[in-house]
Amino acid sequence: MDDELNALRRSRMRWNTPLSEAHAELLLDRMDLGAGHLVDLGCGWGELLLRALGRAPGLRGTGVDTDVTGLDRGRAAARERGLTADFTESDAATWVVPAERAFCVGAAHIFGSTKAALEGLARVVPSGRLLYGDGFWAAPPNPAAQEIFGPDTLTLPDLLDAAAGAGWRVLHFSTADQLEWDDFESTSRAGWAEWVSAHPADPRAAEVRDWLDGRLSEYVRDYRGVLGFTYLVLGR
């Protein structure tokens, strides 16, 4: 897809994770934000990072990602809200600047696996708190779901064991509910669905329709209710 459509792809999403406003506020509460440095690794457009900066004026924020479109969206949102955040184009898996607080939500793949992510993030937050979000098998997956999400997806007990094995203490955990999942999947399709409705004769429309139909089918048939998503507030 070209740059125009890539920019529209997630334009109706609040953040790129199944998370409600109320759930996000709960997680930010549990992070005990204050002065210091917060780094969001795999930040996308950094909406959760900006929410954190808005509630903790003494906090310094850095968002790290390789998605230029997302970083530009984050910078524009920060300017619009009068917030100061450093959005950095870099590989989050190689980030070594220590911080008192960190986010890594839906970005374990950057490190290669859940276990590798939790071990790598322990080097970024030698002492402090981490908000870690990751998928897990909430029910036994069918072969299609296994193919989509790969062999490294864990069950929730195994994910918690991996966190403990990397030296983290679980201070809080919660999971996305079905409404959060359905809203996430719907908004992930909404930007392109609106574009197709407005441009039905565009040469790119057929490819976009195929993607929309395929994504909806995969979700409903293969992983709705099977893939869960957990948010862990971890401490060291």
Residue 7 has pLDDT above 90, yes or no: no
Give the number of other CB atoms < 10 A from CB of residue 231.
22
Residue 193 has pLDDT above 90, yes or no: yes
What's the pLDDT at 57?
Answer: 87
Question: What average pLDDT is seen over the chain?
Answer: 96
Query: What is the band of 2 on the pLDDT scale with cuts at 50, 70, 90?
Result: confident
Reported as a single tens digit per residue, the pLDDT across 68-124 is 999 999 999 999 999 999 999 999 999 999 999 999 999 999 999 999 999 999 999
Q: What is the 3-state secondary structure (H, E, C) of the chain?
A: CCHHHHHHHCCCCCCCCCCCHHHHHHHHHHCCCCCEEEEEECCCCCHHHHHHHHHCCCEEEEEEECCHHHHHHHHHHHHHHCCCEEEEECCHHHCCCCCCEEEEECCHHHHCCHHHHHHHHHHHCCCCEEEEEEEEECCCCCHHHHHHHCCCCCEHHHHHHHHHHCCCEEEEEEECCHHHHHHHHHHHHHHHHHHHHHCCCCCCHHHHHHHHHHHHHHHHHHHCCCEEEEEEEEEC
What's the pLDDT at 6?
Answer: 84
Residue 236 has pLDDT above 80, yes or no: yes
Reported as a single tens digit per residue, the pLDDT across 116-157 is 999 999 999 999 999 999 999 999 999 999 999 999 999 999
Query: What is the band of 170 on the pLDDT scale with cuts at 50, 70, 90?
Result: very high
Query: What is the band of 4 on the pLDDT scale with cuts at 50, 70, 90?
Result: confident
What's the pLDDT at 149?
Answer: 96
Structural domains in the chain plus CATH codes: 13-177+228-235 (3.40.50.150)
Residue with the two structure tokens 């719907």: 186
